[in-house]
Each structure stands twice: as structure tokens, then as C-alpha cells.
Amino acid sequence: MFHFSSLPLAAGSVIEAGSYGAMLHNYRSEQFNPGGGWRLSVELVFEMIRREQFSHLPSRFNSTFVFLTLEDALAGGVNLGSPANLYEVEHVNSAAARHTAAFMLPVLYQIQRPHPIPAFIPEHIGLAQQYWQGQGEGIRELLSESSIRVVRRHDIPRGFSLSSAAAPLQMAQ
């Protein structure tokens, strides 16, 4: 399994479950963060649908996120704002709740602008339902309520640059 981080981490370092959720909880609207308010809005819709229809699945607010394959990590990294470090990781608690879903569903608002632009809430309710049902094509992410432990830093293949890679990937239709 693979995880990107902007932080340099040593083998054995632990990334706590819920770090992403903590970032969302601490979001301040006055911060310059392009798309930050929309990111929070999307996550709140996804959490609302999880609580209403899929409460047995782990919350994105309390989880860690990993890519299952190196290929998915490299393809997905293009959409993560060029994080600097790629790590091979393992779950600390292999029995923790987990869910595998289409990585791109929560970020489609950033990369696809259909015309006419649909109403935000109904569109994202539909995307959230697909996400929590495990539907959708392309890059897969595994979210888990387990913290993750760094096994080793993984070198990004020679000649591959997340910042200069082709345009972000689109979800297969």
C-alpha cells in the first residue's frame, strides 16, 4: 500500500487515523486555500450520506487513505497537488474498519465541469452514494480507521514528475 505526504518521514513513523479530518475541522475561511471551502462542502455531503445510508463504513474524517498499488499512487498523486514524498505503508490495526472506493469521486468537482453545471447538493449526494457503494472506475483508494506505519520511502520513478505529469486523470465514464 502507498501513501503520499508532504512531510519527510522515517521508516516506523506512524500517521494517525483522522489527520485529514483534523485538517478539515481546523479549516478557516479566511485562509487562502483555493477550493478549500468547496473541499469542505464536498466532505460534509459525503459524511452526511455515510451517516444516513452507510453508517457501518468508516468516516473519511476519522480515517487514513492509501493507494493499493504503486500505479494507482502515481496516477492519483497527480491530483494531490504534487506531494513530495511517497511511502510504502502498512496498517497498524489490520482489523480496523475499512472501505475501498473510487479515489476520484470526491474531487470530480475540481476536474469536471459539465454543462450546464448541476446543482451542487444533488450532484454530490449521487457521487457520495456511488463512493460508499464502492462504485466508480479507475484509481482505487482504501480508507481505514487504522493508523498507518511507514515501511519505507518509495522513490518516484526516474523521469516521472507529479508536478509536470499530464493533466489530472479523469474518471472513466
* Per-residue model confidence (pLDDT) at position 170: 39
172, pLDDT greater than 70: no
160, pLDDT greater than 90: no
The answer to whether position 160 is within a domain reads no
The answer to whether position 164 is within a domain reads no
- For 46, residues 6+ apart whose C-beta sits below 8 A from its C-beta are 60, 106, 124, 127, 128, 131, 132
Q: Which three cell numbers stand for residue 31?
A: 485562509
Domain count, the chain: 1
pLDDT bucket at 165, cuts 50 / 70 / 90? very low
33, pLDDT greater than 90: no
Query: Rounded mean pLDDT of 28-43?
Result: 72
The answer to whether position 170 is within a domain reads no
Instruction: Write b or e for each residue in 28-53: b if 16 or more Cβ atoms lie within 10 A of its Cβ, otherwise e.
Output: eeeeeeeeeeebbebbebbbebbeee
The answer to whether position 165 is within a domain reads no
Name the percent of the chain lying above pLDDT 90.
Answer: 54
CA-based max dimension of the chain:
49
Q: pTM, whole model, 2 decimals?
A: 0.82
pLDDT for 43-102, tens place per residue? 999 999 999 999 999 999 999 999 999 999 988 887 776 567 899 999 999 999 999 999
Look up the domain containing 85 and give its range: 2-154
The answer to whether position 172 is within a domain reads no
The answer to whether position 44 is within a domain reads yes
Identify the CA nearest to 83 among candidates 92, 72, 74, 71.
74
Residue scoring higher pLDDT (103 or 105): 103
Distance CA 128, CA 109 (A): 12
Torsion of CA 129, 33, 22, 69, to 10 degrees: 60
Asked if 85 and 8 touch (Cβ cutoff 8 Å), the reply is yes
147, pLDDT greater than 60: yes
The answer to whether position 138 is within a domain reads yes
Distance CA 131, CA 104 (A): 9
In angstroms, how far is CA 79 from the centroid of its own chain?
9
The answer to whether position 53 is within a domain reads yes
